[in-house]
Structure 1
C-alpha cells in the first residue's frame, strides 16, 4: 500500500462497526464465562448440563471472536488488514500489553492452539487448557481504542455514544451484571461441591 493510503481508505464505516462489535462481543462472552467461573471455587463445580454448555460455549466464543481480531492475517477483521502502519501498530500493541514479540507469539500460539484443538477441530487431548484471557482483553482494548481514534478523525459526525468507552470497564460491568442475574435466577442450584 502506498504512503498516501489512510486508515479511512482501508476501513469503511461498516467495517469499523464490525470490528468494534466483535471487540465488544468478545468482552461479553468473556464476561459470561468469568461470571459463572466466579461461583466455582473451593471444589464447587457446575453440575447441570445446560449450564456446563453455556459455561464452555462462552469461553469458546470469546476465543473465536478474539481470533477474528488477532488470529489469521487473512480474516477481514484482523488488525493487519485494517491498519496502514502495521509495524507502528504492532509496536504500540506490544507496549500496551507489556510483552515482547516472542512472548506475544507464544501467547498467540497457545490461544490459537486452544481454538484449533478444542473449538474448531476436536482433538483427543487428555486435558483441555483454557488460555488466560487477560492478555487478550488488553489487546482487544488497544485495537478497540484505535478504532475510536480513526472514527473521531475520519468520521467526525458518527456517534458511538451507545458503545463502551473502555473494554476493561465494560468487562467489569458485564461480569457484575451477569453475576447479579445468576444470583437472581438461583444459579447456585446448578453447582455441586466435589469435596
Structure 2
C-alpha cells in the first residue's frame, strides 16, 4: 500500500502501489513522495481513538473561532468609537472561551481531550508540532504556562465587567498551533486502524479555506452589528 495525498484538500488515502502510481502521474491533485510532517514511529496508532481525536480537533476550531471574533470586535469598537460596555463584555467572553478551549486541548493533563490523552503522553506529537511551528518544545511549554496561568489567575478570578479588555497572551501562536495540528492530524488519520468500510475524515479538510471563510464571515457581520447599535446607551 502507498499513502497518497490530495494537495488541494489535504485528504490522504492508502492505495495499492499501481493505483497510487496512476493517480500520481495523472492530472489530478493526488500525489505521493511529499515530506511527512509526522514521525510515524512516534505513535501507537492502535491506541488513538478517532472520536477523541475529532473532539480534540473541535476544541482547536472553537478557540480559533472565539479568538477571531474577539479580535474583530476589539478592532471594530475602536474604529467605530463604540462605548457601550456590552461589546467589551462580549470581547472578554470570547477571549475567555478561546483560552478555556485552548487549555482543554493543550493546557493541563487532566482535561479529557488533552493531546497527551488523545495521542499518548510519550508520543511524538508535541515534537512534531514544534517542528511544524519552527519552535522549540521549551517555547511551547512557556506558552502553555502563560495560557494556563491566564485561565487560572486572570479568568477564574476576574469579574470581567466590561470596563476594559482583559489582558491575555497573544493568540497568533495559538492559531498557528491549530494550523499545524490540522496538518499533523490529516497525516495521522489514514494510519489509524478502522473497521471494514469505516472511513475517518477531518472536517474541514482544508484549514486555510476554513479560516479564510471564517474571517470573511466575521468581518462582514460584526462591524454592521456594532454600527447598528452604536448609539444604544447601556443602563447599568
TM range (shorter): 0.7 to 0.9
CA distance in 1, matches of 2:59, 2:72: 20
Scaled by the length of structure 2, the TM-score of the pair is 0.65
Paired residue for 2:76, among 26, 30, 39?
Answer: 39
Q: Does 1:178 align with 2:218?
A: yes
Structure (1 or 2) with the greater helix fraction: 1
C-alpha distance 94-24 of structure 1, shift in aligned 2 (>3 A): same
Aligned counterpart, 2:148 = 112
Match of 1:24 in 2: 61
| Runs of 5+ unmatched residues, structure 2 | 1-40, 232-236
The answer (yes or no) to whether the contact 1:30–1:62 under 8 Å persists in 2 is yes
Structure with the greater alpha carbon radius of gyration: 2
Question: Does the C-alpha gap of structure 1 residues 47 and 118 become closer, same or farther in structure 2, counting only changes over 3 Å?
Answer: same
Within the alignment, does 1:50 sit opposite 2:52 as a pair?
no
Deviation of 1:51 (Å): 1.8
CA–CA distance in structure 1, aligned partners of residues 169 and 44 of structure 2: 35
Deviations 1:147-178 (A, max 9, x none): 333322324743547x2234454333212201
Question: 4+ residue stretches of structure 1 with deviation over 4 A?
Answer: 189-192
1:182 and 1:128 mapped to 2: Cα distance?
A: 20
1:139 equivalent in structure 2: 177
- 1:52, CA displacement in angstroms? 1.9
Q: SS at 1:76's partner residue?
A: coil
TM-score normalised by L of structure 1: 0.77
In the alignment, is residue 102 of structure 1 matched against residue 141 of structure 2? Answer: no
For this pair of structures, how many residues does the alignment match? 185
Q: Is the 8 A contact 1:63 1:115 kept in 2?
A: yes
Q: For residue 123 of structure 1, report the CA deviation from its aligned partner.
A: 8.6
5+ residue gaps, structure 1, are none
